[in-house]
Amino acid sequence: MKKIIAMLAGAAMMVSCGGNQTQEESSTIKVGGMGPLTGSAAMYGTTIEKGAKLAFEEINNNGGVLGKKLEYISLDEKADPIEAVNAYNKLVDEGVVAILGSVTSKPTLAVAELAAKDGMPMITPTGTQININDAGPNVFRVCFTDPYQGSTLAKFAKDKLNAKTAAVMVNTSSDYSDGIANAFIEQAKKEGIEIVAKEGYSDGDKDFKAQLTKINGENPDILMVPEYYELSALIATQAREIGMKSTFVGPDGWDGIIGALDPSAYSVVDNSYFTNHYSAEDSSEKVQSFLKKYREKYNEEPTAFSALAYDNVYILKNAIEKAGTTDKEDLVKAIKASDMDGITGHLTFDEKNNPIKAVTIIKVKDGKYIFDSVVETK
């Protein structure tokens, strides 16, 4: 009996050792991703997925990393924190070396807290909520924070639009909207802009005319709408229907607003402005090459989210090469030391793992996104 047990134990050890050896000799490096690929936020998740997959395809076609292909395992988290946590656990079980994601802020924050405990390198392309990377030193973001966008828009309203009064329409159900609105209001007051109205609404609301009528009675120079493009298009349309003449400004969530409007309604957002991460009018070879490849592959225009996801992948790729390993601690150090020219600009990370890079201002005119200006970082 003892002999049989010893033989079984020895066999188990051989299987275990064989499994470890297979993992070490694997021809791929597994990278985890997640985002809302179905549900109400799927338009964001799918455009990010396309940008990421384009980058992975390019990298693998050019020989991969450390002599291995990058295997991208992406899961649908439906913009739900619980689904995101489940996705994270599945990706850890798959043996991924890093997490790219998530997309919207609440699921991203839920995953960041788990990744911090595990020391898992994590980079979100679009999670803008200010406290996401407070979770741990291994959590990074490629996008601007909500407050940074809000304060930048207030400065732009003063410096470029000569605004003296402003109003805000804020989604009280959204941390994204609320964070941008609060920073805008705070900075606007510093700039000498009077906030003449602040009106709120909730997720699911479709009729905004009561709030807009109150705002219109104050005749503000600027209406700040910190919202994603579908609702922003609806708010802008209703604002023009009641005769509002104010100039609209918004954050990066406005990217895609033209596609949410019928061509006959493009004029409702004429001469509006929003912060963004890059402009398709950038003449640099890097940006134009990205645009060409994306258009050829998907037969559509990339959003800024696509560009952020593309940069996200290359940050990780460069970090793995610099570290020369996929060890978690070494990989986090290499990501922290990133110094890269990406599609969304030259990027380094500050002490809180936020990106140090310029903000592009886009003007909407005649159904097109027109490069307006760049607000440089300090």
- Of 211, 201, 265, 210, nearest to 233 (Cα)? 265
Each residue's pLDDT, cut to its tens digit, for the chain (378 residues) gives 434 444 434 444 333 333 333 335 678 999 999 999 999 899 899 999 999 999 999 999 999 999 999 999 999 999 999 999 999 999 999 999 999 999 998 999 999 999 999 999 999 999 988 999 999 999 999 998 999 999 999 999 999 999 999 999 999 999 899 999 999 999 999 999 999 999 999 999 999 999 999 999 999 999 999 999 999 999 999 999 999 999 999 999 998 899 999 999 999 999 999 999 999 998 889 999 999 999 999 999 998 999 999 999 999 999 999 999 999 999 999 999 999 999 999 999 999 999 998 899 999 999 999 999 988 765
Measured distance CA(194)–CA(108) in Å, rounded: 34
Q: What is the pLDDT of residue 70?
A: 98
Q: HSE-up of 74 (CA within 13 Å, CB side)? A: 23
Measured distance CA(128)–CA(106) in Å, rounded: 10
Measured distance CA(41)–CA(180) in Å, rounded: 19
Q: HSE-up of 88 (CA within 13 Å, CB side)? A: 25
Task: Please give the structure tokens belonging to residue 296.
Answer: 């050829």
Q: Answer whether 13's CB lies under 8 Å from 52's CB.
A: no
What is the 3-state secondary structure of 252-295? HHHCCCHHHCCHHHHHHHCCEEEEECCCCCCCCHHHHHHHHHHH
Q: Answer whether 319's CB lies under 8 Å from 349's CB.
A: no
Measured distance CA(90)–CA(106) in Å, rounded: 19
Measured distance CA(178)–CA(175) in Å, rounded: 5
Q: HSE-up of 181 (CA within 13 Å, CB side)? A: 23
If phi > 0 it is left, if psi is from -120 to 50 it is alpha, else beta; for residue 162 that is: left
What is the Rg, in whole angstroms, of the alpha carbon atoms belonging to the chain?
23
State the pairing for strand pair 359-365/272-276.
Answer: antiparallel
Give Dmax (Cα) for the chain. Answer: 91
194 three-class SS: strand
E strand residue ranges, 99-142: 99-100, 122-124, 139-141
Q: What is the pLDDT of residue 25?
A: 60
Task: Please give the structure tokens belonging to residue 28.
Answer: 């791929």
Q: What is the pLDDT of residue 377?
A: 61
Residue where the block lists tokens 């946590």: 85
State the pairing for strand pair 368-375/359-365.
Answer: antiparallel
- Of 206, 210, 197, 203, nearest to 169 (Cα)? 197
Within 10 Å of residue 7's Cβ, how many Cβ atoms? 10
Q: Answer whether 303's CB lies under 8 Å from 47's CB.
A: yes
Task: Please give the structure tokens belonging to residue 49.
Answer: 């997925």
